């Protein structure tokens, strides 16, 4: 493109130099156009200096091209002007126009370069950011991989420890079961040996002669002949024996106490002694002894017992018996019915 423009400028320069012959101007213009293969109107001779576009404008792109129509129009306009100064002015205007177009193209190219530089810098930053992110991602991935491997190793260690614990548990269960079996066997042997020794001791100690003496000694009894019932009760209770292997004491067989009516000829002390012997011999619980002694009184003593029950705010004899001791009941009855004129030992 630049070579073509330079060639055209040289041709125009030659045309301007040939302006000295005005008569032959039309023929030269026709000849120049014929050599270029163009047809146009008559034109004048111009004096144009060659220009090095690249050195002057530092334009690296393609030069600006004009269409055939624009060029023919300009040449025709230039040829129609007769004044040399006007032609030079037109050429200067054309040169200035071309200069402005080239400057605009240069500005556009410069702006494009700046845009490309900015875009390249942005892409470079994005690439660097991606590299940094990739490095950080790789570092995190390496850390995660290391953590997974460490966790896997810990799980394997825990599995080994669990297997050891299970093995030790089985071993301990075996040892413990063996110990229990041996201990139970030793205890059984010890008990059997102790029972055997005890049996031998009893056999050696309680011979038939000793047993016969014991039986003869427990066969006594009877009253003292004075008709005292209390004495008979104590004698009967005195001769009772307990079985050797029975842990619970047997009830002593005693006579049921007589009923106390509160008459002057009856002794309240004798009645209390008879009731005490009976409740002890029958192993009556403490909370039922007052309840048992109440039916053994009638008349005034019964009325007195009922008054004691009311003073204690008890609704039934069972409730009164459960919260009153037999000793307190006997004390109240004795203070109420004991003969004050009875001779006492001093």
CA quadruple 290, 295, 299, 305: dihedral, nearest 10: 20
Task: Name the residue ranges covered by the structural domains of the chain.
Answer: 2-124, 248-346
User: Mind listing the pLDDT tens digit for each residue in 183-231?
Assistant: 888 888 889 888 888 878 888 877 777 777 777 664 444 344 344 444 4
Most distant CA pair in the chain, distance: 205
The pTM (predicted TM-score) of the whole model is 0.28
Q: How many Å apart are CA 327 and CA 142, to the nearest integer? A: 94
Section 250-268 average pLDDT: 69
φ, ψ of residue 260 in degrees (nearest 5): -95, 125
Residue 16 has pLDDT above 70, yes or no: no
pLDDT band at 118; cut points 50, 70, 90: very high
pLDDT band at 17; cut points 50, 70, 90: low
Nearest Cα to Cα of residue 210 among 253, 252, 245, 244: 244
User: Mind listing the pLDDT tens digit for each residue in 274-331?
Assistant: 888 888 878 888 788 888 888 888 888 888 888 888 888 888 888 888 888 888 888 8
pLDDT band at 85; cut points 50, 70, 90: confident
Q: How many Å apart are CA 4 and CA 53, to the nearest integer? A: 12
Residue 241 has pLDDT above 70, yes or no: no
């Amino acid at each position: 493109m630049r070579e073509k423009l330079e060639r055209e400028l040289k041709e125009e320069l030659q045309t301007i130099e040939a302006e000295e012959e005005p008569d032959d101007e039309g023929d030269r213009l026709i000849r120049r156009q014929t050599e270029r293969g163009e047809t146009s109107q008559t034109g004048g001779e111009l004096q144009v200096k060659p220009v090095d576009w690249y050195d002057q404008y530092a334009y690296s792109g393609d030069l600006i091209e004009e269409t055939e129509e624009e060029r023919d129009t300009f040449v025709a306009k230039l040829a129609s002007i007769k004044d040399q100064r006007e032609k030079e002015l037109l050429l200067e205007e054309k040169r200035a126009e071309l200069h402005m177009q080239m400057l605009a193209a240069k500005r556009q190219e410069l702006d494009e370069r700046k845009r490309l530089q900015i875009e390249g810098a942005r892409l470079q930053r994005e690439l660097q950011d991606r590299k940094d992110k990739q490095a950080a991602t790789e570092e995190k991935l390496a850390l995660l991989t290391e953590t997974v491997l460490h966790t896997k190793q810990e799980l394997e260690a825990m599995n080994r420890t669990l297997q050891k614990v299970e093995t030790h548990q089985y071993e301990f269960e075996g040892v413990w079961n063996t110990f229990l079996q041996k201990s139970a066997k030793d205890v059984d042997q010890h008990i059997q040996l102790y029972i055997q020794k005890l049996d031998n001791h009893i056999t050696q100690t309680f011979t038939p002669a000793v047993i016969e003496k014991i039986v003869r000694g427990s066969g006594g009894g009877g009253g003292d002949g004075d008709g005292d019932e209390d004495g008979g009760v104590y004698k009967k209770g005195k001769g009772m024996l307990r079985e050797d292997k029975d842990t619970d004491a047997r009830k002593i067989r005693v006579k049921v106490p007589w009923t106390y009516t509160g008459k002057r000829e009856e002794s309240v002390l004798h009645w209390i002694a008879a009731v005490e012997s009976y409740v002890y011999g029958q192993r009556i619980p403490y909370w039922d002894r007052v309840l048992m002694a109440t039916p053994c009184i009638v008349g005034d003593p019964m009325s007195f017992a009922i008054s004691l029950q009311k003073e204690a705010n008890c609704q039934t004899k069972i409730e009164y018996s459960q919260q009153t001791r037999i000793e307190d009941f006997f004390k109240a009855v004795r203070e109420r019915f004991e003969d004050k004129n009875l001779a006492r030992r001093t």
